């Protein structure tokens, strides 16, 4: 139990940072690209010790594309986990792939079920959290519907892919237990 909890905390650090930094970096990049002035102000009572303000006419633009940027970062992280689960899982990786990885000295990319599914659940949770943040922004009227629909589509698709792989791994494990 303790090992699992520590691993879950360890696996949650990167997606949490990407979620937070992705939104802030998205704000900065979008404001720079579109020439939108953003005021960064220090505040004692704010959770982050600073606050941002954007002119009302630019708020929808900046929020929409910063949501898209943040969600894209989260999707890339989850994509990496899914690629590892499908192609680099130690329980069903092909011998050809192993030899190619060995030639490139990349055997460390092969992951166990414990690593894959613990990190996958964390990444999937943060992906859905990003989707919820986009939905909150949409329902507050500061983000556009198409970003919410894209985030929902990717969250649902990645969830289906992840859980299909998980259930096929469970079936594979059951077959191995019955055969052995």
**Does residue 143 belong to any structural domain of this protein?**
yes
**Does residue 47 belong to any structural domain of this protein?**
yes
The number of folded domains in the chain is 1
**Does residue 165 belong to any structural domain of this protein?**
yes
Q: CA-CA distance, 125 to 131, in Å (whole number)?
A: 10
**Does residue 154 belong to any structural domain of this protein?**
yes
Q: What is the pTM of this model?
A: 0.86
**Does residue 180 belong to any structural domain of this protein?**
no
**Does residue 49 belong to any structural domain of this protein?**
yes
**Does residue 157 belong to any structural domain of this protein?**
yes
What are the tens digits of pLDDT across the range 47-90?
555 556 777 888 889 999 999 999 999 999 999 999 998 888 88
Print the domain residue range for 47.
2-171
**Does residue 71 belong to any structural domain of this protein?**
yes
What are the tens digits of pLDDT across the range 85-125?
888 888 888 888 889 989 999 888 888 888 888 899 999 99
């Amino acid at each position: 139990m303790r090992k699992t909890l520590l691993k879950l905390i360890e696996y949650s650090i990167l997606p949490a940072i990407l979620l937070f930094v992705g939104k802030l970096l998205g704000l900065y990049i979008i404001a720079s690209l579109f020439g939108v002035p953003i005021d960064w102000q220090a505040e004692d009572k704010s959770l982050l010790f600073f606050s941002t303000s954007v002119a009302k006419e630019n708020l929808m633009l900046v929020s929409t594309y910063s949501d898209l940027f943040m969600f894209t970062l989260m999707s890339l992280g989850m994509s990496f986990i899914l690629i590892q689960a499908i192609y680099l899982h130690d329980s069903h990786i092909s011998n050809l792939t192993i030899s190619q990885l060995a030639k490139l000295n990349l055997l460390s990319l092969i992951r166990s079920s414990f690593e894959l599914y613990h990190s996958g659940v964390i990444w999937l949770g943060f992906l859905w959290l990003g989707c919820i943040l986009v939905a909150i922004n949409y329902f507050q009227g500061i983000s556009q519907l198409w970003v919410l629909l894209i985030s929902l589509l990717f969250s649902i698709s990645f969830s289906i892919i992840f859980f299909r792989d998980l259930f096929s791994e469970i079936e594979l494990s059951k077959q191995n237990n019955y055969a052995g």
